[in-house]
Structure 1
Amino acid sequence: MNNRLSLSIALATYNGERYLAEQLDSIAQQTRLPDELIITDDASIDATSTLVLDFAKRAPFTVRFQVNNERLGSTRNFERAIRVCNGDIIFLCDQDDVWYPSKIALMEERFIKNPSAGAVFTDADVVGQDMRPFGKRLWKTFRFSREEQERITACDALSVLLKHSVVTGATMAFRSTYRDLVLPLPDTWHDAWIALLIGTTSCLDAIPKPLIAYRQHNSNQLGIPRRGRNQGKTCASIYGPQVVRYEAARTRLLELGDRFPITKQKMHSIEEMLLFLRARSALPNARWRRLRRALRELVALRYHRYAYGMASFRKDLLR
């Protein structure tokens, strides 16, 4: 394979002793080893540091380990790891997953074959805390359809991402040239934030193969989508935070438009998404008063472009 890239892994840890050794071992067993592994620890009080230092002595690649003097929180700690990376490609890594041996090699190959791809992501096997398979793939839980995968391949990631999130950070790597675009990270919404900004200003590439075991346990920060997670919530509490997130994304894109150009059509789509989210967040608590506003969005086809059509329309009327 020509044009070999330099590859960094950004791993943020906090009290990770339970699963970290398995993840580190899976990185060391890659068929294409990284050029460096950056680990930033958020002042853990367990054996995380001991595990990392022991691994660094025997790792067949450079391991750089930094420990925060005080807790920064998961977002700032992860951001710190990304900032320190020197590679052309930055792989995002969680402390509790396991990477399959060909993960780095296949993703590097995709970056080389597709120079227009700012980021590459993959499918994953969903497993329990003991690594027993749940019998499902991550993309299926996201309802990431074959047609949407083809749109991603055709460099139309934005139309997919505005409808729903399909990218998990633990399966993603991105070109370091986009680091200034995605950092600083917002306090929530990290994976979708990175995918949205890079997918808006370049292309994404999706590998339809599970390349990690995505571990689910009681301490997951995000994990797979769960049914009923919005049960009992008002429209304002569900969609209001999304308005804030998309406003922040729009602001970042406008601020850095000279370095990371965005087409008028894509900016229009983001503006329309904001109109839609504002309308949904403003739906009254009284169900009988929602119909007129929701119908306006339905007629404008925004329920079909940015949600699941009539199913989402009915849900907004009945929730």
Structure 2
Amino acid sequence: MKISVVIPMYNSSKTILKTLNSVKNQTVLPFEVIIVNDGSTDNSLAIIENFVNENTFLNISIIDKKNGGVSTARNAGIKASKGNWIALLDSDDEWLSNKLQRQTEILSQNPQIDFLGTNRNGEYFSSILWKKLDLLTKISPKLLLVKFIFVVPTVIFRKSITDTIGFFDESQRYAEEGNYFIRIVQKYNCYLLNESLVLTGGGKAHFGHSGLSGNMKEMEKGELKNIRDSLALEIINIFEYLLLVVFSILKYFRRVIVVKFFR
């Protein structure tokens, strides 16, 4: 299998080297690495150009584009990729050194899998509500709506998925990955490898910090849109839609309280 790593980057001068070194240090190296500079105004581009020159054994290409948001950057990278599998990674996250090795092992042993995510930041899930999770568990779209299990830098998926599902919605600026992954899970065999193989946000909490997921109010709007879209896609019925909306709003207020009073 040929793995194309797609890394969108915007003003990431403080973190991009850790991200790239985590790819460089993989026990199974990818086929190619595509870095999409989304109109950075700092010296991120110069940093990665120097990294490319110092690591010629890695097949790295750089796409330099005007700023258009993370979805436009991811889409540009995926469209330019030449591998048959896509692994996504953000410019402030890191892979453990065996991340790609473990995923390629699982995929070779389970050829029915089209999309595979892992845990992050030391997480392990014994269950999510009614669903018991094993080492390898197939994830349904409804379960994904209850808990957003698949986080961008943990996933790897067949590039051929884009032939039917398309790409990230470039008009959605928050929770856009949830929208995309829900559409994929509806039609393909998507599994969770219940091992923590990724460090996101330097190990910070998953919400309430600056960055792409830092604006909780906008993230909540994006999540509610994803629930509406799931109703339109007939993944859920109207009763399930109402329950999920209430559940999402309760989670949002809990996050606000945690950030305001306990940090």
| TM-score band w.r.t. shorter chain | 0.7 to 0.9
**Shift of residue 195 of structure 1?**
2.5
Does 2:161 correspond to 1:178? yes
Which stretches in structure 1 are left out of the alignment for 5+ residues?
A: 126-136, 231-236, 254-266, 284-306
| d(CA) in 2 for partners of 1:77, 1:195 | 17
Match of 2:73 in 1: 77
Matches within 5 A, 1:2-151: 5-59=1-55, 60-68=57-65, 70-125=66-121, 137-138=122-123, 144=128, 147-150=131-134
Which stretch has the larger CA shift, 38-47 or 107-116? Answer: 107-116
Computing the radius of gyration from Cα coordinates, the structure with the larger value is: 1
Correspondent of 2:193 among 183, 187, 207:
207
TM-score under structure 2 length normalisation? 0.78
| d(CA) in 2 for partners of 1:13, 1:52 | 10
- State the Cα deviation string for residues 123-170 of structure 1 (Å, max 9, x = none): 111xxxxxxxxxxx3456x974694424972x3523411322111111
- Contact preservation (8 Å) 1:242, 1:277: no
- Contact preservation (8 Å) 2:124, 2:195: no
- Contact preservation (8 Å) 2:124, 2:196: no
Structure 1 residues 249 and 54: alpha-carbon distance in aligned structure 2, compared to 1, 3 A threshold: farther
Letter in 1 for 2:143: V
Match of 1:298 in 2: none
- State the Cα deviation string for residues 170-213 of structure 1 (Å, max 9, x = none): 11111101123141425132332233222221222222221111
Counterpart secondary structure, 1:52: helix
Matches within 5 A, 1:157-172: 157-172=140-155
**Shift of residue 62 of structure 1?**
1.0
- State the Cα deviation string for residues 52-77 of structure 1 (Å, max 9, x = none): 11111233221110111x21122212
- Contact preservation (8 Å) 1:118, 1:199: no
| d(CA) in 2 for partners of 1:159, 1:245 | 12
| d(CA) in 2 for partners of 1:152, 1:50 | 40
Structure 1 residues 146 and 99: alpha-carbon distance in aligned structure 2, compared to 1, 3 A threshold: farther
CA RMSD, Structure 1 to Structure 2 (Å): 3.3
Q: How many residues end up aligned between the 2 structures?
A: 241
Correspondent of 2:183 among 182, 186, 197:
197
Which stretches in structure 2 are left out of the alignment for 5+ residues?
A: 255-263
Match of 1:286 in 2: none
| d(CA) in 2 for partners of 1:144, 1:215 | 23
Letter in 2 for 1:14: Y
Match of 1:130 in 2: none
Counterpart secondary structure, 1:40: strand
Letter in 1 for 2:64: V
Does 2:239 correspond to 1:245? no
Letter in 1 for 2:212: Q
**Shift of residue 11 of structure 1?**
0.3
| d(CA) in 1 for partners of 2:70, 2:192 | 26
Structure 1 residues 165 and 184: alpha-carbon distance in aligned structure 2, compared to 1, 3 A threshold: closer
- State the Cα deviation string for residues 235-286 of structure 1 (Å, max 9, x = none): xx96x755533444566x6xxxxxxxxxxxxx4xx141x54335776x9xxx
The percent of aligned pairs where both chains have the same amino acid is 18
Structure 1 residues 103 and 169: alpha-carbon distance in aligned structure 2, compared to 1, 3 A threshold: same
TM-score under structure 1 length normalisation? 0.66
- Contact preservation (8 Å) 1:116, 1:202: no
